[in-house]
Amino acid sequence: MNLVRLEACIECSGYGAQSAEEKQRLLKLMRNLNFNGESGSEPYTPTAQSLGGVAGSDGFYSPEFRGDFGAGLLDLHAMDDTELLSEHVVSEPFEPSPFMRGDTRVFEDDFDPINSKLESGEADTDASISLPMNSTRENNVAKIKVVVRKRPLNKKELAKKEDDVVTVADNAYLTVHEPKLKVDLTAYVEKHEFCFDAVLDEHVTNDEVYRSTVEPIIPTIFERTKATCFAYGQTGSGKTYTMQPLPLRAAEDLVRQLHQPVYRNQRFKLWLSYFEIYGGKLYDLLSDRKKLCMREDGRQQVCIVGLQEFEVCDVQIVKEFIEKGSAARSTGSTGANEESSRSHAILQLAVKKHSEVKASKRNNDGNEARSGKVVGKISFIDLAGSERGADTTDNDRQTRIEGAEINKSLLALKECIRALDNDQIHIPFRGSKLTEVLRDSFVGNSKTVMISCISPGAGSCEHTLNTLRYADRVKSLSKSGNPRKDQVPNAVPQTNNKDVSSTSSFPASSGAEDFNDQRQEKTMDMGRKFVEKENSLHSSAAASVDKQPVSYSSNYLSNGRDEKGFPSASVDRERFEVKNSHGDSTSQKMNSYSQSDTDEKVQKVSPPRRKGYKDEKSERSANWMKKDANDSDLFTTSSKQQSTGNYSTLSKDEKSERPAKWMKRDATGADLITTSSKQQSTGSYSTLSKDEKSERPANWMKRDANGSDPFTTSSKQQSTGNYNNITTGSRINETESSPDGNVSAVLEEEEALIAAHRKEIEDTMEIVREEMKLLAEVDQPGSLIDNYVTKLNFVLSRKAASLVGLQARLARFQHRLKEQEILSRKRVPRQ
Ligand SMILES: Nc1ncnc2c1ncn2[C@@H]1O[C@H](COP(=O)(O)OP(=O)(O)OP(=O)(O)O)[C@@H](O)[C@H]1O
């Protein structure tokens, strides 16, 4: 009925004067929108209080304001009306008064004037009512902001005379000084350096925290932004202390904005809800912990059945709600915090726009919240402690189960944020209840602020590092990254690195650290190999002309990008955290690559000098060798080298000889993907001089021995894959009995998947380069189509194999997640 009316309104309104095309567009939009709010799938939330709810908080909880169902449905996706609108952002200079009227361009593009007019029955009039958008400001607010907050040492820590091991510099950098012991029990300190969007030390007040985190987001809430602010960290690190004042401050600012005439006239209102996720279940903290249930409607939109929403127009009321809700939270005592939150608490402030006509109608049946369309909202999440129940005091079964559940949701949350920042189409929100609930915060206009809370005490060092690594991962793997971060290697004083290097002969670290170190080494290797590969590609092309030795790109190393601007997040990331347990810090390593050790590195990967052979053919072999040695990584087969540039410079004989060899390999039925490198090297080997033959294996050995085997044949890939599988598999077996062990296994598999994905991208890039070369070759006059066909076939097979490999790994990982979910469901006892 409404749709018909709306269509009629479009016809009659000023929009009717527009082009037929425009009209069609609007009608289509209308049909997609869910205006009526009366359909069965619409959430139902009885109003808590009409305007001016200052009249005592009792009224907010009185039963008459609750529906039969206990309360009703809150449609977390009441945003659908806005989501369908254009995401167009108008770049205009920031204006101090963001609430100006009359910018028709913004009006048309960004707000939903039709909706606004039709809902209020003002379709024909009042075209000036609009939400002024300040796109510039919105753009200025980062999509993801990662802030770290360090709390002061608490009484317990002071009593134990714990050292403060965290130092903060320039409000953006911090160093963790980890006390360690060598095998001979000599104490030493290992430094870990990090950089974030902001680092707030122990002297920073809650008010300042608000100003550097949430305040900049507030105006964007009126611009259809769904913002999420969450605190992450070990138990007792100050998450609740940090999060509790934020909604209050935010509400203060939101209420102030709502009093602006433009919003008041349009009946914008602020609504509050507060619930928690405990053991995978939802409880309403403002309704005597009533159990809630989450449902997906026909449009796959998440609704929380029964959740109470309260209109708030006064900060005092918000305060009362927060206090009431917080008192109802699930807490328990952990080793580090007597009042530890064992749940994720989510407080949502939603700005809704109400139609006057409908609102007055609905006031009678207590359904006002439902009648409003969400303009924007902000969710404050106080996450449960991030530690994995590893403390001896936390080893009871329930705590460990909670820990596993918490970890699962933290993992899922990280994945969603990452996907979100990378503008991925698929956001893995189904990974946990937490992310499912926050689903609408992961689509459309969204902003995320993560506040990582850390404890400064030496006794919390390991947890602090874990928190910082999680935060670093959220930030550094994101597309937007951290521009400041890129400057860190230069920004970090040299003395730090020296300090670190002075403690270079460290004992092997254990457990999780080992894994982290391995991961870092792996990533480092990848970054380095990529540099080597890139350079050898460039230099090998040059080498055929001027035979210059291969050199590293210091550019690449210094800014994390190669000359072509290809980013290397992994390289960036590795530069921040100085890991020293293997005797060479990461930053040091990177520095050494880019500076004094360049020659040494080049030597390590350079081919032996050839003597005596002067004819073109042997020179060609030398070039191949050179490439093999420098470049073999990242490429599943060395045939890449054959098919690249050099081919075009081959003599005619060679040209005809080459494809014959490839054909032969094809004809032997050998799997070019899995064995080609071996074959390739064998093939090359047979054409080598005696000297070369004896030198080659030595080089391979060397490469194998130093662990950075750039001889990245597919067999290496496979073995890497197998290694990952085996280690993960065995780890899983080892930890099968413990819930958090399973989570660790998932985390590790996740790392392996991501590494494989990176590798796949690099391989694909190489393959694309080859394909382009192939095309260039085939375009040359007199080119042989047979050669082209053979090589193309080969290249495409590799491409397919690379994808299939990654897909298989992905499927395994998905399977693992599923298993984990089932296990944790089994473990969590029914409430
Ligand atoms: N920045 C700070 N300044 C002063 N005191 C702080 C600060 N941060 C935390 N505290 C104090 O430390 C104690 C633990 O903080 P809080 O309860 O916020 O930790 P938490 O991270 O929420 O723990 P859990 O995950 O167990 O709930 C509290 O007594 C709190 O007052």
What are the pLDDT digits (tens) for 591-632? 332 333 333 232 222 233 333 333 443 444 344 334 333 333
303, 315 Cβ separation under 8 angstroms: no
φ, ψ for residue 198, nearest 5 deg: -155, 145
d(CA 490, ligand 1 centre) in Å = 34
Cβ pair 263, 485 in contact under 8 A: no
Annotated binding site for ATP: 233-240
Q: In this structure, is residue 233 part of a structural domain? A: yes
State whether 478 and 506 are in the same domain.
Answer: no
List ligand 1's pocket residues with C-beta within 6 A.
Answer: 151-152, 154, 233, 235-241, 334, 337, 339-341, 384-385, 453
Looking at ligand 1, which residue's alpha carbon is closest to its atom 2?
151
Whether 327 and 455 map to the same domain: the answer is yes
Q: Relative to the CA of 233, which ligand 1 atom is closest? A: 21
> 545 lies in which domain range?
491-606
94-112 pLDDT tens trace: 233 332 232 322 222 232 3
Question: Of the candidates 458, 482, 506, which is a domain's last residue?
Answer: 482
C-beta separation of 329 from 343 below 8 A:
yes
Residue 214 has pLDDT above 90, yes or no: yes
Number of domains in the chain: 4
CA-closest residue to ligand 1 atom 11: 238
Instruction: Write down which residue in 436, 453, 482 finishes a domain.
Output: 482
Q: Is 3 helix (H, G, I), strand (E, B) or coil?
A: helix
State the distance from the centre of ligand 1 to the C-alpha of 172, rounded, in angstroms: 22
Question: Do 309 and 375 share a domain, yes or no?
Answer: yes
CA of 403 to the centre of ligand 1 (A): 19
**Measured in angstroms, how far is the CA atom of residue 383 from the centroid of ligand 1?**
13
> Looking at ligand 1, which residue's alpha carbon is closest to its atom 8?
238
Measured in Å, residue 751 CA sits from the centre of ligand 1 at: 31
Do 409 and 284 fall into the same domain? Answer: yes
Atom 9 (ligand 1): residue with closest C-alpha?
238
What is the signed CA dihedral for 39, 126, 96, 170, rounded to 10 degrees?
10
Nearest to 192, CA basis, from 513, 524, 596, 525: 513
Q: Give yes or no for a contact between 141 and 147, defined as CB atoms under 8 angstroms apart.
A: no
What mean pLDDT comes out for the span 50-64? 30
Beta-bridge partners for 452: 148, 232
Q: What is the CA radius of gyration of the chain?
A: 31
Would the pLDDT of 454 be above 60? yes
What local confidence, expressed as pLDDT, does residue 572 receive? 33
pLDDT bracket for residue 383 (50, 70, 90): confident
Banded pLDDT at 369 (limits 50, 70, 90): low
d(CA 714, CA 672): 9
Give the mean pLDDT of 170-188. 89
Ligand 1 center to 418 CA (angstroms): 27
**Tell me, what's the pLDDT at 21?**
52
Q: How far is the CA of 454 from the centre of ligand 1 (A)?
A: 10
Residue among 189, 230, 507 at smallest CA distance from 378: 230
| Average pLDDT score, the chain | 59
Nearest atom (ligand 1) to Cα of 340: 26
825 within a domain of the structure (yes/no): yes
State which of 408-417, 669-678, 727-736 shows the largest mean pLDDT. 408-417
Residue numbering of the annotated binding site = 233-240
In this structure, what token pair is assigned to residue 429?
A: 């929100």
Q: Which atom of ligand 1 is nearest to the CA of 386?
A: 25
Supply the pLDDT for residue 520.
37
Nearest CA to ligand 1 atom 13: 236
Q: Is residue 536 part of a domain?
A: yes
**Is 460 contained in some domain?**
yes
Asked if 453 and 146 touch (Cβ cutoff 8 Å), the reply is no
Give the whole-angstrom CA distance, residue 560 versus residue 587: 12
Looking at the structure, do residues 403 and 547 belong to the same domain, yes or no?
no
User: How many A from CA of 382 to the centre of ligand 1?
Assistant: 12
Q: What pLDDT, on a 0 to 100 scale, did the predictor assign at position 399?
A: 66
**414 and 497 assigned to the same domain:** no
Tell me: the pLDDT tens digits for 501-556? 333 222 333 333 333 333 333 333 333 343 344 444 444 433 333 333 333 233 32
Q: Indicate which atom in ligand 1 lies nearest the CA of residue 337.
A: 26
The protein residue whose alpha carbon is closest to atom 1 in ligand 1 is: 151
Cα of 220 from ligand 1 centre, angstroms: 29
Between the two ends of the chain, the Cα-to-Cα distance in Å is 43
How is residue 426 written in tokens? 């698929």
Helix (H) or strand (E) holding 378: strand 373-382
With helix as H, strand as E and coil as C, how does 289-302 read?
CEEEEEEECCCCCE
Predicted pLDDT at 819: 78
The answer to whether residue 642 is domain-embedded is yes
Query: What is the DSSP track for 731-742?
Result: HHHHHTT-HHHH
Say yes or no: 585 and 662 in one domain. Answer: no
Are the C-beta atoms of residues 175 and 192 closer than 8 Å to each other?
yes
Q: Which residues of 422-445 are buried (b: 16+ CB within 10 A; e: fewer)?
A: eeeeebbbebbbbbbbbbbbbebb
Q: Is residue 51 part of a domain?
A: no
Ligand 1: residue of 151, 277, 391 to mutate (most ligand atoms within 8 A of CB) is 151
pLDDT at 406 exceeding the cut of 90? no
Q: Which atom of ligand 1 is nearest to the CA of 150?
A: 1
Q: Which of 206, 208, 235, 240 to mutate to test the pocket of ligand 1 (most atoms within 8 A of CB)?
A: 240
Taking the C-alpha atoms of residue 662 and residue 676, their distance in angstroms, rounded to an integer, is 10
For ligand 1, atom 15, name the residue with the nearest CA.
238
Both 527 and 475 in one domain: the answer is: no
531 and 421 together in one domain: no
Atom of ligand 1 nearest to the CA of 151: 1
Amino acid at the residue 485: K
Task: Identify the CA nearest to 782 among candidates 648, 660, 643, 659.
Answer: 648
Ligand 1 nearest atom to the CA of residue 231, by list position: 21
Q: Alpha-carbon distance 537 to 528, whole Å?
A: 14
What is the pLDDT, as a whole number, of residue 212? 92
Pairing mode, strands 331-332 and 198-200: unpaired
Nearest CA to ligand 1 atom 3: 151
For range 459-488, the mean pLDDT: 68
Residue 304 has pLDDT above 50, yes or no: yes
Q: Is residue 611 part of a domain?
A: no
Ligand 1 atom with the smallest distance to the CA of 244 is 18
Per-residue pLDDT of 40-56, as tens digits, reads 333 323 333 333 333 33
- Taking the centre of ligand 1 as the mean of its atom positions, its distance from the CA of residue 241, in whole angstroms, is 5
41 token code pair: 């799938």
Beta strands 226-233; 373-382: pairing state: parallel
For residue 750, name the pLDDT band (cuts at 50, 70, 90): confident
CA angle at residue 474 from 191 to 726, to 5 degrees?
80
Any domain includes 39: no
CA of 455 from ligand 1 middle (Å) equals: 9
Q: Are residues 509 and 648 in the same domain?
A: no
One domain, residues 262 and 151: yes
Going from the C-alpha of 67 to that of each of 72, 76, 293, 372, 463, the distances in angstroms are 6, 18, 15, 17, 45
Do 530 and 445 lie in a common domain?
no
> Cα 95 to the chain's mean position, in Å?
32
Pocket test residue of 213, 337, 394 for ligand 1, highest count of atoms within 8 A of CB: 337
Which of 561, 591, 606 is at the close of a domain?
606
From 153, 155, 213, 241, the mutation candidate for ligand 1 (largest count of ligand atoms within 8 A of CB) is 241
pLDDT computed for residue 682 by the predictor: 37
Whole-number percent of the chain with pLDDT over 70: 43
CA of 236 to the centre of ligand 1 (A): 5
Read off the pLDDT of each residue in 716-733 and give the average, rounded to a whole number. Answer: 36
User: For residue 10, what pLDDT is reported?
Assistant: 41
Helices (H), 270-426: 315-327, 356-364, 368-371, 397-421
